[in-house]
Amino acid sequence: MIKPYGSDTLNPLFVYDPKEHDELMHEAENLPSLMLNSAAAGNAVMLGAGYFNPLTGYMNLADALSVADTMKTTEGLFWPVPILNLTYNIEAIKGAKRIALRDPNVEGHPVLAVQDVEAIEEVSQDELTHMAEKIFGTTDTEHPGVNTFMNLGEFAISGPIQVLSFSYFQTDFPDTFRTAVEIRNEIAERGWKKVVAFQTRNPMHRAHEELCKMAMERTGADGLVIHMLLGKLKPGDIPAPVRDAAIRKMVEIYFPPNSVMVAGYGFDMLYAGPKEALLHAVFRQNMGADVFIIGRDHAGVGDYYGPFEAQEIFDKVPEGALQIEIFKADHTAYSKKLGKVVMMREAPDHTKDDFILLSGTKVREMLAQGIAPPPEFSRPEVAEILMNYYQSLKK
Could you give the angle at which helices 360-368 and 380-392 cross, rounded to 10 degrees? Answer: 70
Cis peptide before 110 (omega within 30 of 0): no
d(Cα 67, Cα 69) in Å, to the nearest integer?
Answer: 5
- Burial of 58-90, coded b for 16+ CB within 10 Å and e otherwise, reads bbbbebbbbbbeebbbeeebbbbbbbbbbbeeb
The dihedral of CA 42, 202, 294, 50: what is its sign? positive
Task: Give the closest residue to 281 by CA, choosing from 323, 233, 319.
Answer: 323
Which residue numbers are catalytic? 201-202
Strand-pair partners of 317: none
In this structure, the chain runs to a length of: 395
C-alpha distances in Å from residue 253, one per residue of 170, 247, 260, 379: 26, 10, 12, 10
β-partners of residue 197 are 225, 292
Residue 389, helix vs strand vs coil? helix
